[in-house]
Structure 1
Amino acid sequence: MHMGVAALAVSVLLLVSLNSIRSITDPDEVDALGLLYSSLNSPPQLSGWKSIGGDPCGESWKGVSCFGSAVTSIEVAGLGLNGTLGYLLSNLLYLKTMDMSNNYIHEPVPYQLPPNLTYLNLANNNLNGNLPYSISSMTSLIYLNFSHNSLSQPIGDLFANLQNLSDLDVSFNNLSGDLPNSIGLLTNLSRLYLQNNQLTGSVNILSNLDFDTLNIANNHFTGWIPQEFFSIPNLVVGGNVFENGPAPPPPPYTPPPPRKPHKHHNQNEAPTNAPIGDDGQESNKESSSSKKRLTAGPIVGIIIAGSVVVALFAILATLFCLHKYTKKRNKNQNKLAFPLGSPSTGVNKGEWHQFSDYISSHAPTEWSSLTREPPLSSYGQSRSGVKDIHEHKLKSSQSATQLKSPSSEKIDKTSGKVGSARGPRIPITAAYYSVAALQTATNSFGQESLIGEGSLGRVYRAEFSDGKILAVKKLDSSALPLEDEEDFLDVVSKMSRLRHPNITTLLGYCAEHGQHLLVYEYIANGALHDLLHFPNESRTLSWNARVKVALGTARALEYLHEVCLPLIVHKSLKSANILLDEDLNPHLSDCGLAALTRNNERQISTEMVPSFGYSAPESAMSGIYTVKSDVYSFGVVMLELLTGRKPLDSSRTRTEQSLVRWATPQLHDIDALAKMVDPALKGIYPAKSLSRFADIIALCVQPEPEFRPPMSEVVQALIRLMQRTSLIRRTSADETGLSSRILEDEATSDVFL
């Protein structure tokens, strides 16, 4: 009896213990929620929450739901929360629902969000910046809402993997630029809200999606409204600059069938108004029923002209014609030697599709609206001398290859020779500028307009008649050995698709009279190199501004290395290629230009590379550059930010001329590190932040490339550094006095000392 009672008591205790163990929340998730609570300034509305420790799943934390020991839902909408979202949200691996809408949350959206969310609602807050690229890997997302915030910049190509997404709302922001290609891949998207932004370009990319609701009102969209839109139950398109009426269907008119294919079979067979199906009228591949249909015209004529008696002769005539046609078909097939192996594809079909491609290229589609037509002199002439404006539009919007030598001008237009060797290029979203327009804007590329010079050419300030100020990079033809116009246009096409707030935006290009120019946004504060090495009393970068520059540049490299497909190696990372805007946000320039030297190994090793002092050891020896080479160069830039010294400085003593060689042994010595800091900072910096900054540098400039971290890890380390500094400032402001100014986070305007 007693033994039974004892066993029962032990069992109860064991069950209670197991239940309590299950209720203990994962420590990483506790840290994430604790940091979120602190970043929101520890609001009393979140009852039960703690900055450090606690058990969200075992205790009653307002708005938090769990399954076992995993946090699965955070729903704290409309509580008047004010602050930021912290930097540990990616620790919430099991979180499915996150609703923090209708609050006062500010700052940019965290770079890393919970990776397995299905529902994310951050609407009606004060978030700024852009949509984070981590969204691209959140493959479980079904609902995404960032409406009524202050998001800006173009929308990145984030959606290729979000095949479950059904609701997307980014309305009432300041998003700009064209719609990304990947948004057209959202096959399950049923509700899309883009209204009240600054979006531009065509909306054709949305025409194949099956919407229940589409609102694109009050933007700057152009072109035609696709006909498919008019079947959407809830459609709002007002407040744009669309052309009147729906878009004409592709092709925009019904052309007669191309005549050339009829030369391969009986030209008296099909009437000119015969319908053309997907088979392209491949009469030499038709079935016997098709052959009978080919003689329908003669039979009808005989019936109308003759009588019932004549019908018998008509049948005999039909059999005779079929027999004769069969012989002629076999004869024609023997004459034609096609390289195509498939019996279902012949020259007729190919030529018809190529003709259709040509016709489609002249329709008011997305490509033609994205690309301004260049003047006739901007491209080389074809061998056949075809120079009409349609030819040039086809070349710019498809693949811009020069025409091969066809037998006639007619074949030239319909055979699809243009770009057939390489396939259609991704459309160039940058505008086309003539040399004359750029000469006028730069005062004939005068010395007074020169604002920079590098190994690839000179950069000029361009002021246009409408008051717009841009930067024009005039490429040195001797530094870029282009094989043909194709190389330049391919690179421009890829560069024009780069979308990141920390990468200079390519706005235009010019390829005319043998000259190659690139038109970029104008960045007001110039290069980081000048601010570091030619400072004045009013333009010395504070410590927080330097960390901000490092983080922004790291994010740009992470985008090039880990988001772009195929990945992009910069190969010329240096402080002179990091431009700073009025808020000291960094913009990495020359991204993608290294591709222009891909066909010349010697040129790669001597021209499109970082200046001496930035090159990784393995790259300096072999001329081969990888993403790890960029990481090394980034570490050198961080050393510049830390010390204010140039990577190579012959004016210093021999042991201090190489920045990396001199600084690396001292990065983990606290006393030596304090002596290395840029004297321009005047000792105003947080010691812990300085030490962590040095730790990141040490990892990046390791001589063995395999030991250098990927840029995503560098980004996370810099984010933690900034967030910890921000937390220290908030929790110790009453005690630190002057240090509260020193520890200001990157969002403040106090970026100069």
Structure 2
Amino acid sequence: MAYQAAKLVFPLLMAFLATASALNRDAVVLLRVKNSELDDPDGQLSNWVVTSQNAPCNWTGVACDPRSNAVVSIDLSNFGVSGMFPSDFCRIPTLRSLNISNNFFGGSISSNSISLCSHVQSLNLSSNIFVGNMPDFRPEFPNLTVLDLTNNNLSGEIPASFGRLSSLQVLCISNNLLNGSVPEFLTNLSELTRFELAYNPYKPSPLPSTIGRLTKLENLWMPNSNLNGQIPDSIGNLISLKNFDISGNNVSGSIPYSIGGLRNVQQIEFYLNQLSGELPNSFANLTSLLRFDASQNNLTGKLPESLVRLPLESFNVNDNFLEGEIPVALSLNPNLYELKLFNNSFSGSLPVNLGSNSDLETIDVSGNRFEGPLPPNLCIRKKLVNLITFGNRFSGAIPDSFGACSSLAYIRIFNNQHSGKVPDRLWSFSGLQLLQLENNRFEGSIPGLILGARGVTELLLSNNNFSGELPSEICGLRDLGIMDLSGNRLSGSLPSCITKLKSLQKLELQGNMFSGEIPNAVSSWKELAELNLSNNRFTGEIPGELGNLPVLTYLDLSGNLLSGEIPGALTKLKLNRFNVSNNKLAGKVPLGFNSEFFVSSLLGNPNLCSPDLKDLPLCPRPKPVSFYVVGVLAACALLLLGSLLWILMKTKALQAFGSKNKLSWKITTFQRVGFYEEHVLASLTEGNLIGAGGSGKVYRVKLKTGQTVAVKKLLGVNRQSDMEGGFQSEVETLGRIRHGNIVKLLFSCIGEDFRVLVYEYMENGSLGDILHGEKGGLSLDWAQRYKIAVGAAQGLAYLHHDCVPAIVHRDVKSNNILLDEEFRPRVADFGLAKMLQPEVKEGDGLIMSRIAGSYGYIAPEYAYTLKVTEKSDVYSFGVVLLELVIGKRPNDSSFGENMDIVKWVREAALSSPQEPKSGIAGSGCWTDLDQLIDPRMNPSTCNYEEIEKVLDVALLCTSPLPLNRPSMRKVVELLKDRSLARPKPLLS
């Protein structure tokens, strides 16, 4: 009996000893690599300590086989660790998967080190800083199925040994510095399902002619790969292909007929190539096609009827040279919901039944040679959102049926030959955002029904034959930013309530027959930058309040019947354009306009005079002053002197700045202010203190004029201190900027041991305070958040694209976006800003000596390259967009360990059902928005489509690679333009 028991126990004992031996062996390898080869600044591997027999299986990032307890996987992705390639991990013979992606591993990868991993099945080294040549995979790697070297700095040729990785299913080497050619031998990898070689500076080379061998391939992703030549006929053999992207290359020739063999393809991206010829009829076989983009090529001929019968989700052949008419079959496609044919050479009329049998949401046929009337049934199913037909020869009236198309949000039918009346109900759609009818022959009046379009932001009706008075209901369009009614026959007085349009940025009414006086109470036009009322019949005086508009740079009142003097207050404006010519103005030209530069803007006013401008009448000399007047003036002077002495005695607080008198201060004024600087400095008392930090204090000062300013006082500053650089940067940057979305610097004061900056006061503090402070976001609904996003983007776009030289903020964050009393945003705090010199090309940037910025907002490449570019600000702004949607700080603990807001949202997007394009989340990928958005927002007020768009833009902005981030000008366009499809964020 004992013998039998021994026979049973002995094998179990041997297995236990073998397991224990394996555990000890694996632990020794892991600890040796950790202690001698890795730098773990965040202590991610702190629990790699031997405490029990199965210790490695409980260590962070280590996984074991559940039966043998042998280590089979090491995953250190996103751990923030660094070092050379840790090849010694591969000395664990049971290791099958090694993932060290998204870290800071560097140096080169030698053939000897990689050869230690010949037994590994999955090797992910992506998103590190490896350099040198691609590793040579010798000897054989019979089990390797996944190889990902994406997002490194590897260069040179693709080694021939890659062609012998017979089991490889995934090959990802995108976003490196590979400068060889795309080799033919890669098509020997018959097991490949993912083939991603994009964004490398290869030598010009064609798509391999034998690409058709890869019959299991599902994703062929080669944009920006310097491809040339033609698409090979063998492409049709890729029967499993779902995503085919060769955009941004120099591929030429015609699209082969064999493309019809791609029966499972869902997305084809051919844009930005040199393709020519006609689209083949074999498109009829592509019954799974959802996206087709062949824009910006040289394609010709008619669209094949076979193509328009496909169940298209998106069809886009813009920016080609297509010719001919659109087949009638387009109107019969029941699945077509987006038709984009803009910037081609199509002619003829649109099929009369277009839209009759389909759920069209977007039609864009702009920039062609179409003629005739618009099809009456385009919106018969009331789903049409975007109607874009500009730049053609369409004629006739807008069909009456369009008056029932309440789904319309974006109408651009300018530069055509339309005539007749606009259907009344078309003016009143509640979802309307943009109405652009310019340069046609429309007639009739603007009806009061326009009040229904409360969300419209742009009303562009210039150069038509509209007549009648402007209805007072137009004052209810509170979101209206641009109104251009110029070149019509509108008449009557302007409604006085027009000054209630607080969002107006541009108002153009020139070339009409408006009469009456210009409204006087214009102080609410704080966003107005351009005002053109020229060539009308306005009478009365020019309102002096126009001089107080903070961002007005364009003012044209010429060709009217205005009288009185030119208000001196207008000289406070920083005008690029000023014209009051051909009126009935009189009196002396104000000093600020009394220069040769403004002469042409003053002519045509016979009673206007100047003391020295030769083209204007000379002003008469003043009569001698009587003794009585002299006496009165002397008495006033004595009274004023006494008042000043009393004020100086009361401002003892100035002594806090030291014993130096005012002569030792250097005061620089950047904006016209209606108060004395001394009054501000005298008010820097504890009672006005609203914030303090290590460098100084911030005060809220309410002046006797009623104006409130914010004062930043830096103490302990001198020309040698570290803070001096930040002070000078802020002064140099803000001192020359004039933009409605950038905080205004009023003046600065420099003393021996202090620096003072005085700004306009922002009533609602910072965006960060509202989202994350005591107010807790309760006062911000989605509409306000969206406006904040657009406004802040416009401010940053101005810095990047309109300033010369361009300015990089370097510290974009929610705490540096201030909000006024109406929650309009101002970008603030330019202490870290840098100016890019004109000779610095976009993307080159400046090398900084140290990392600057705020944790959670810093772009990943900045941390290890110290290179400052505009794309660094774009990344930070993307984080702010995510804050606006989610309502949490960038590093909120609720995201989990080693997660920030970007990674958390990116994982949420990746976990949703994806479209086929590698690294792309398209429309509809946000399946559970309620779990993402700030729960403090009222769901009934949330525009979920708008929120999805903002999330998509945010992911584009926070792309790991600067190359993939849009410019801030593009960000503004993506956020504002309702005609654009939702952007496609990179999620790789």
Q: TM-score, normalised by structure 1?
A: 0.52
Q: Give, in angstroms, the shift of residue 548 of structure 1.
A: 2.5
Q: Which residue of the other structure, out of 687, 699, 703, is the alignment partner of 1:464?
A: 703
Report the Cα offset of residue 500 of structure 1: 3.1
For 2:957, give the aligned amino acid.
C
Q: What are the equivalent positions in structure 2 for 1:398-417 lying under 5 Å apart?
A: none
1:666 to 908, 916, 930: 908
Instruction: Give the Cα–Cα distance (whole angstroms) in 1 for the partners of residues 732 and 704 of structure 2.
Output: 27
Higher Cα radius of gyration: 2
Cα distance in structure 1, aligned partners of 2:895 and 2:602: 72
* d(CA) in 2 for partners of 1:209, 1:682: 48
**Is 1:234 aligned to 2:605, yes or no?**
yes
Residue identity matched to 2:421 = W
User: In 2 relative to 1, CA 672–19 (structure 1 residues): closer, same or farther, beyond 3 Å?
Assistant: closer
Match of 2:825 among 586, 596, 600: 586
State, as a whole percentage, how many aligned pairs show the same letter. 25
| 1:50 and 2:289 matched | no
Give the structure 2 partner of residue 527 of structure 1: 766
Counterparts in 2 of 1:435 and 1:183: CA distance versus 1, 3 Å: closer
Call closer, same or farther: CA 1:699–1:24 in 2, change over 3 Å: farther
Greater fraction helix: 1
Q: Contact between 1:433 and 1:510, CA under 8 Å: does it hold in 2?
A: no
Determine the structure 2 residue equivalent to 1:705.
962
State whether residues 683 and 701 of structure 2, in contact with CA within 8 Å, keep that contact through their aligned partners in structure 1.
Answer: yes
Q: In the alignment, is the contact (CA less than 8 A) between 2:800 and 2:806 conserved in 1?
A: yes
- The answer on 1:105 being equivalent to 2:465 is no
1:495 aligned partner: 734
1:675 maps to what in 2? 931
* Distance of 1:652 and 1:17 partners within structure 2: 55
Is the CA contact (8 Å cut-off) linking 1:192 and 1:213 kept in structure 2? yes
Match of 2:69 in 1: none
Listed as ranges, the matches of 1:140-289 within 5 Å are 148=519, 152-153=524-525, 175-177=546-548, 199-201=569-571, 211-213=581-583, 226=594, 232-234=603-605
Residue 82 of structure 1 corresponds to 450
Query: How far has the Cα of 1:509 moved from its partner?
Result: 2.1
Contact 2:817/2:826 (<8 A) preserved? yes
Q: Deviations over 1:151-205 (max 9, x none)?
A: 745687769xx9x998898966964437989659x9x966697999995545898
Indicate how the Cα distance of structure 1 residues 557 and 246 shifts in structure 2: closer, same or farther if over 3 A, else same: same
For residues 272-322 of structure 1, give each alpha carbon's deviation from its aligned partner in whole angstroms, at most 9, with x where no partner exists. xxxxxxxxxxxxxxxxxxxxxxxxxxxxxxxxxxxxxxxxxxxxxxxxxxx
Cα deviation for residue 549 of structure 1 reads: 1.9
Q: Does 1:623 align with 2:862?
A: no
What CA distance in whole angstroms lies between the structure 2 residues aligned with 1:431 and 1:108?
Answer: 29
Letter in 2 for 1:659: I
Deviation at 1:640, TM superposition (A): 1.0
Shift in Å, 1:97: 7.6
Amino acid at match of 1:616: A
Instruction: Quickly say closer, same or farther: Cα 1:539–1:558, change in 2 above 3 A.
Output: same
Among 363, 370, 373, the alignment partner of 1:24 is 373
2:808 is the counterpart of 1:569: yes
Secondary structure of 1:613's partner?
Answer: coil
| Alpha-carbon separation, structure 2, partners of 1:617 and 1:147 | 53
What is the match of residue 719 of structure 1?
976
Q: 1:661 aligns to what SS in structure 2?
A: helix
Cα distance in structure 1, aligned partners of 2:732 and 2:756: 14
- The C-alpha deviation readout for 1:224-279, integer Å capped at 9, x for no partner, is 77388898443789xxxxxxx966789xxxxxxxxxxxxxxxxxxxxxxxxxxxxx
| Aligned partner of residue 22 in structure 1, secondary structure | strand
SS at match of 2:892: coil
Cα distance in 1, alignment partners of residues 968 and 544 from structure 2: 29
> Match of 2:876?
633
- Provide closer, same or farther for how the CA distance between residues 46 and 201 of structure 1 changes in structure 2, counting only shifts above 3 A: farther
Q: Do the aligned partners of residues 652 and 377 (structure 1) sit closer, same or farther apart at CA in structure 2, a change above 3 Å counting?
A: same
TM-score normalised over the length of structure 2: 0.41
How far 1:567 moved relative to its partner?
3.2
Matching residue of 1:614:
857
Q: CA deviation at 1:642?
A: 1.5
2:690 counterpart residue number = 451
Q: Alpha-carbon deviation of 1:722?
A: 13
Shift of the 154–97 alpha-carbon distance from structure 1 to 2, 3 Å rule, reads: farther
Alignment match, 1:440? 682
CA shift at 1:522, angstroms? 1.3
Tell me how far 1:528 sits from its aligned partner.
Answer: 1.3
The alignment partner of 1:697 has SS state of helix
Cα pair distance change 1:497/1:157, threshold 3 Å = farther
- Displacement of 1:454 in angstroms is 6.7
> Does structure 1 conserve the Cα–Cα contact (< 8 Å) formed by 2:733 and 2:833?
no
State the alpha-carbon separation in 1 of the partners of residues 828 and 879 from structure 2: 17
Determine the structure 2 residue equivalent to 1:349: none
Q: Provide the residue aligned with 1:132 in structure 2.
A: 505
Residues 1:76 and 1:377: Cα distance change in structure 2 (over 3 Å): farther
- Counterpart residue type for residue 544 of structure 1: A
Q: Distance in 2 between matches of 1:671 and 1:434?
A: 58
Structure 2 CA distance for aligned equivalents of residues 234 and 478 of structure 1: 54
Please say if residues 461 and 472 of structure 1, whose CA atoms lie closer than 8 Å, have aligned partners that are also in contact.
Answer: yes
Do 1:549 and 1:586's aligned partners in 2 also have CA atoms closer than 8 Å? Answer: yes
SS at match of 1:462: strand
Relative contact order, higher structure (CA 8 A, sep 6+): 1
Letter in 2 for 1:665: E
Aligned-residue offset at 1:637: 0.8
State the secondary structure of the residue aligned to 1:530. helix
Instruction: Select 1:696's aligned residue among 953, 956, 960.
Output: 953
Give 2:867's aligned amino acid. I
Report the alpha carbon displacement of residue 613 of structure 1 after superposing the two structures with TM. 0.7
Specify the SS of the correspondent of 2:867: coil
Q: Over residues 661-716 of structure 1, what are the superposed CA-to-partner deviations in whole Å (9 max), with x where a residue is unaligned?
A: 12222146334542122232365534333323322222221122222223333334
Shift of 1:222: 7.2
Offset at 1:530? 1.5
Q: Which runs of 5+ in 1 are unaligned?
A: 1-14, 37-44, 238-244, 251-373, 380-391, 397-426, 725-753
1:485-511, CA deviations, whole angstroms, 9 ceiling, x for partnerless residues?
A: 999789647624533333222222212
Amino acid at match of 2:494: N
C-alpha spacing 1:625/1:439, structure 2 compared with 1 (3 Å): same
Query: 1:654, CA displacement in angstroms?
Result: 0.7
Unaligned runs of 5+ residues in structure 2 are 1-346, 353-369, 390-397, 425-436, 615-660, 838-844, 913-925, 982-988
Cα gap change, 1:602 to 1:191, in 2 (>3 Å): same
Q: Which residue of 1 aligns with 2:896?
A: 653
Number of corresponding residues: 501
Matched-pair contact (CA < 8 Å) for 1:227–1:247: no
Residue 646 (structure 1) shift: 0.8
- Alignment check: 8 A CA contact 2:698 2:711 kept: yes
The structure that is strand-richer by fraction is 2
The answer to whether the Cα contact below 8 Å between 1:155 and 1:177 also exists between their aligned partners in 2 is: no
Following the alignment from structure 2 to structure 1, what is the Cα–Cα distance between the partners of residues 955 and 895? 22
3-state secondary structure, aligned to 2:808: coil
